[in-house]
Amino acid sequence: MKIDKKSIEQHNEQLKAKHERAFAYLAEDITNVEEVIAKLEKFQIAIPSWALGTGGTRFGRFSGKGEPGTLEQKIEDVGLLHALNQSSGAISLHIPWDIPEDAEKIKALAASFGLAFDAVNSNTFQDQPDQEYSYKFGSLQHVDPNVRKQAVQHNIDVINHGVALGSKALTVWLADGSSFPGQLNFREAFQNTLESLKAIYAHLPEDWKLFVEYKAFEPNFYSTTIADWGQSLLLANKLGDKAYTLVDLGHHLPNANIEQIVSLLLMEGKLAGFHFNDSKYADDDLTAGSVKPYQLFLIFNELVEGMDARGIDHATGLGWMIDASHNLKDPLVDLLQSVDAIKLAYAQALLVDREALKAAQQRNDVVAAQEILQNAYRTDVRPIVAEARLRQGAALNPVALFNELNVRNKLVAERGNQSVATGL
């Protein structure tokens, strides 16, 4: 199904008077409101192809209905999101969960929804039915060079798929590590990983980036070979200018100061971008901003400050992606909520009085610094984000319109009850 302009206009017409009142009230006190809106309008957050179906836990999976069973249907789903919010203009593919057999056709289909292809993701954390060597004991780190070679070749194949689609980055996340002390020689595992990544890096096209994602633990529970930003940055520095560190918000040990990590990676010119999600305990993959919205704001506060300091284009300078999984909510609604939460945090960060904050820091005025940040965070910026949507031709309230239009039931009618998405 497609959402036509008329439905969006009718929906907006109904909410417009109330929205205009709220926006005018807010805008009166915000001197840079037009700048904030312009930045929000340009901001696009990529949707992962693996988040469009209902995810599971290791104890069970309760599949939703009308899930996208093919890559074409996943693209259609992201098209629906983009029509509703005009902020989800790209899809990130995980290969081989999604294989674009006919790249030209897939590219044209995506373009018909206004979508581009974001980073492509390789998968050497699962065995595929036709592969020769197993990844049970790792892939790029493996003690057997044959396994490493196979994993390198897979990444090269993924780059080639990405080139055909117009992607500009490869994201490598490895499950490699060990679950018991003594199982692994840490240095050799790291060296093997570096050599394998070098072989992949050598195949990157000139205008591509390599995103090295880290994760503290899971599925390995004693050591992970790329476990934190230090290990990822070490690799990225050794690899070269096209390699960067990717921050997935759920991949840290509890209470890690992610905003500080982000600030230093930006300073070093090595921040790839994000996999946005939220968590209470570990890699919970919950909706962005659902548990720790203040942390999300603090991350954006560092991003805005750091991007401005380095002259980075907010819209295109970093990779903005969601990496979430939904086992209770409708995945499409959940993704709309994530995109909205990310934009809200970004808008709030754009309201921070940078000069006043700098001055407070210079005179060690801890109270003033806190007040400045929290003044921005406690501003209800929803009317600003809604105004940006209105100007883009998106829905004032995407979740409400999704429900009003009965989108899920229509997808069930088209695809059937049994349609289950591939992926996590």
Residues engaged in binding Mn ion (CB under 5 A): 248, 275, 283, 323
Q: Which of 19, 209, 215, 389 binds ligand LRH (CB under 6 A)?
A: 215
Q: Which of residues 8, 44, 46, 50 is near ligand LRH by CB under 6 A?
A: 50
Q: Note whether 154 binds ligand LRH by CB under 6 A.
A: no
Residue 274 identity (one-letter amino acid)? F
Report, in Å, the least distance between residue 298 CB and ligand LRH: 21
Any idea what DSSP says for residue 286? B
When CB distances are held under 5 to 8 angstroms depending on the partner's kind, the choice from ligand LRH, Mn ion, none that residue 330 binds is none
Interface with ligand LRH (CB under 6 A), residue from 275, 326, 408, 415: 275
Beta bridge partners, 91, equal: 47, 117
Q: What would the two tokens of residue 64 be?
A: 């939703």
Q: Based on the shown chain and the rule CB under 6 A, indicate whether residue 98 belongs to the binding site for ligand LRH.
A: no
Minimum CB–partner distance for residue 218 and Mn ion (Å):
8
The DSSP code for 51 is: G
**What part of residues 236-265 is at the interface with ligand LRH (CB under 6 A)?**
248
Separation of alpha carbons 323 and 54, rounded Å: 13
Computed over its alpha carbons, how large is the radius of gyration of the chain? 22
The single-letter code of the amino acid at 271 is L
Residue whose CB is less far from Mn ion, 323 or 340 = 323
Q: What is the DSSP string of 122-147?
A: ---SS--TT-SS--TT-STT-SSHHH
Residue 228: contacted member of ligand LRH, Mn ion, none (CB under 5 to 8 Å, by partner type): none
**Residue 212 backbone dihedrals phi, psi, to 5 degrees:** -100, 110
- Closest C-alpha to 168, from 71, 265, 272, 98: 272
In the complex, least distance from residue 139 CB atom to ligand LRH, rounded to whole angstroms: 13
Residue of 76, 323, 334, 340 interacting with ligand LRH (CB under 6 A):
323
H or E segment and range at residue 192: helix 186-201
Interaction pattern, residues 380-409, with ligand LRH; x per rule: CB under 6 A = ------------------------------
Interface with ligand LRH in residues 8-37 (CB under 6 A): none
> Which CB, 336 or 424, lies closer to ligand LRH?
424
Is residue 95 within 8 A of residue 158, CB to CB? The reply is yes
